[in-house]
Amino acid sequence: MPHSNQIDLLPNQGWDERILVCRNGRLVQTFIVVTARYVVLVDTLINAATARQMVAFAEPHLAGRTLLVVNTHADYDHAWGNQLFVGPDAAYPAPVIASLRCAAAFAQRETAETLHRMQAAEPAIFGDVRLVPPTLLFDEQLTIDGGDLTLQLFATPGHTPDHISLYIPEIETLLAGDAAELPYPAARTVDGLPLMRASLDALTAFEAQTVLYCHAPVAAGPDLLHDNIAYFDGLERACRAALQRGLPGTLPAGAAHIDRVGCRYADVTPQTELWRDVNPYYHTDGHADQLRMMLTWLDAAQA
Ligand SMILES: [Zn+2]
């Protein structure tokens, strides 16, 4: 999918007016939370140009308020606009708040390799990106007292080890980031899978009235958390049964092996258009990856 610098502000669809939702095409949604003391940008999008557009949306609210920036995690669609806020040439100097693990992710060789690969593929979008790690770091929890709204930042590892989500108790609103997604938040490692399911449980425990995601329609609502949990519970049931039938705990990569477990995407997701219309990858290789990790995790747990 080619990337774009186009950022749109979504019309409010019932959430608290102090939250603005920005969208970069079909790629990702980010948030601006306007509190009495702070304007908080939640994620910085894919480059300085897109981050600058977020600041433009925030601009009318900045008088008398301090700008703060949050990274939910280090993935490119969430944190590659950081250079706009940090460094001697930063146009809008601000603390960038994230987990300690997020800063560590910026230092990994894979992150630099991803940047080089994407710069080569799409120089117009990524050519100017510099990897700028967050600057104000916490381990498990951090509270931002905005005066009227409180932002509770807390670790929700799994999708990535560094991931955090935000809860705003005064308006019972949860910003899940990528800890929950349509159709499912993908674990990247076998170890990440149980962490991700625990994070999903932690998110549902808030019983939030409003839940907004970085990769799901704004209308998805709190139900998506439960659908994500049901998806992984469905995988677990199918994988347990498959292991009992004698299937080995390690399957080769690829969608061809889904039938050996006997758990297709359609078997463990709601039967609606919303779920059928997702990128085909989630029905095939993506689903196979999650199945494979579940199988390996259960097999290791049983051994
Ligand atoms: Zn993402």
Q: How far apart are the first and last CA of the chain?
A: 41
**Strand 38-42 vs strand 136-138: parallel, antiparallel, or unpaired?**
unpaired
Tokens (6 digits) for 57: 């949306």
Which amino acid, residue 52? R
Peptide bond preceding 183 in cis form (omega within 30 of 0):
yes
CA of 139 to the centre of ligand 1 (A): 21
What pLDDT, in 10s, does the model give residues 280-302?
Answer: 999 999 999 999 999 999 999 88
DSSP 4-22: ----EEPPP-SS-TTEEEE
If you average pLDDT over residues 153-175, what whole number do you get?
A: 97
CA of 248 to the centre of ligand 1 (A): 32
Residues 6+ away with beta carbon under 8 Å from 294: 193, 232, 235, 236, 239
User: Any idea where the domains of the chain sit in the sequence?
Assistant: 8-221, 231-302
What mean pLDDT is reported for the chain? Answer: 96
| Assigned CATH for 8-221 | 3.60.15.30
CA of 176 to the centre of ligand 1 (A): 11
CA of 141 to the centre of ligand 1 (A): 21
If you average pLDDT over residues 36-64, what whole number do you get?
A: 98
CA of 142 to the centre of ligand 1 (A): 21
CA of 278 to the centre of ligand 1 (A): 15
CA of 269 to the centre of ligand 1 (A): 21
CA of 184 to the centre of ligand 1 (A): 12
pLDDT at 170 over 80: yes
Distance separating alpha carbons of residues 170 and 174, to the nearest angstrom: 11
CA of 127 to the centre of ligand 1 (A): 20
CA of 27 to the centre of ligand 1 (A): 8
Is the pLDDT higher at 163 or at 302? 163
CA of 73 to the centre of ligand 1 (A): 8
H or E segment and range at residue 67: strand 66-70
- Is this model's pTM higher than 0.85 or not? yes
CA of 148 to the centre of ligand 1 (A): 29
pLDDT at 1 over 80: no
CA of 47 to the centre of ligand 1 (A): 14
pLDDT for position 60: 97
Cβ neighbours, 10 Å, residue 223: 10
Protein residues within 5 Å, CB atom, of ion ligand 1: 77, 178
If you average pLDDT over residues 204-222, what whole number do you get?
A: 97
pLDDT for position 257: 82
CA of 303 to the centre of ligand 1 (A): 34
CA of 89 to the centre of ligand 1 (A): 27
